[in-house]
Amino acid sequence: MNRRCLIVGSAIQVSDVVKTYPLGADEVVAVDHLDLGIEEGEFVAVVGRSGSGKTTLLNLLAGIDRPTSGSVVAAGADLGSLSESGLAEWRGRNVGLVFQFFQLLPTLTVAENVMLPMDFAAKIPAVRRRDRARELLERVGIGDQADKLPSMLSGGQQQRAAIARALANDPPLLLADEPTGNLDSHTADAVLEVFAGLNAEGRTIVVVTHERDIRAIVKREITLVDGRVVADESVVAR
């Protein structure tokens, strides 16, 4: 049975979250009393100008940062109730992260990069990991690059490898911070199509992006200004 069918309720519930950073004697309010619910299977774009709080929000959803106040519930866990090691374990099993600059380890092959999170989380049986890495690389269209070092791949191929790595432990939730920000527009479109395919399989996806035509791909667009949601729109074009 598909495990995702067994999970009920919201994928994400952000309640009255504030995140401030110290700035000299003062502080910057990066996220300002933000409420946000995202259901299982949604495909959401977060847009907004530089400095509007997009990365901060994503880091709060991933449990990389903790809110100054308020609560974040994601993938079945109240993140505030978890210890640092509990958060790391939760993240490893439930969240796939994709970044603008890929962040592949340069000394490991592409397949080894994909296997690494499997080794950390120990969710996938050890005997399955190598084959699974190959399957995931096939899934994102770069099965033939598995044994190369990341530096031998194009930017688009490296981002596909990073997406395969994010899928390593079959997480229900994918979070991507400007995953196309370092790609030409044609390559960016192809990478966004990979996300669309993963969403069609039932994964919940939140993608921070500057792409103008993101509305052709996602189902919902949230706009941030100064750490607040100023627009939250369903996209019907799809």
Q: Indicate the residue among 53 and 67 with the shorter CB distance to ligand ADP.
A: 53
Q: Which of 12, 30, 164, 217 binds ligand ADP (CB under 6 A)?
A: 30
- Give the range of 54-62, 101-109, 134-142, 156-164 binding ligand ADP by CB under 6 A: 54-62
Q: Can you tell me the distance from the alpha carbon of 13 to that of 32, in angstroms, rounded to the nearest whole number?
A: 15
DSSP state of 46: E
State the sign of the Cα–Cα–Cα–Cα dihedral 227, 232, 237, 238: positive
Contacts of 192 (CB under 8 A, 6+ apart): 180, 207, 209, 211, 214, 217
Does 180 bind ligand ADP (CB under 6 A)? Our answer is: no
Region 51-90 residues binding Mg ion, contact defined as CB under 5 A: 54-55
Paired with 228 in beta bridges are 225
51 near ligand ADP, rule: CB under 6 A:
yes
CB of 67 to ligand ADP, least distance (A): 13
Rank residues 55 and 209 by Cβ distance to Mg ion and give the closer one. 55
Task: Please say which residue, 58 or 188, places its beta carbon nearer to ligand ADP.
Answer: 58
Closest to Mg ion by CB, 146 vs 208, is 208
CA 159 to chain centre: 13
At 182, which helix (H) or strand (E)?
Answer: none
Least distance between ligand ADP and beta carbon 226 (Å)? 9
Of the candidate residues 38, 45, 56, 90, the single one contacting ligand ADP (CB under 6 A): 56
Taking CB under 5 A as the binding criterion, the range among 1-9, 50-58, 90-98, 150-158 that sits at the site for Mg ion is: 50-58
> What is the number of other CB atoms lying within 10 angstroms of the CB of residue 175?
27
Of 65, 40, 41, 68, which is closest to residue 54 (Cα–Cα)? 65
- Give strand pairing partners of 20: 29
Q: Which of 54, 28, 38, 82 is nearest to 173 (CA)?
A: 38
Q: Does 193 bind ligand ADP (CB under 6 A)?
A: no
User: At closest approach, how far in Å is the CB of 101 from ligand ADP?
Assistant: 14
Number of residues that bind Mg ion (CB under 5 A): 2
DSSP state of 231: E
As measured in angstroms, the least distance from the Cβ of 142 to Mg ion is 26
Task: Compute the 3-state secondary structure of the chain and give helix, strand, coil in percent, each to the nearest 5.
Answer: 40, 30, 35
Sites of contact with ligand ADP (CB under 6 A): 21, 28, 30, 48, 50-56
Sites of contact with Mg ion (CB under 5 A): 54-55
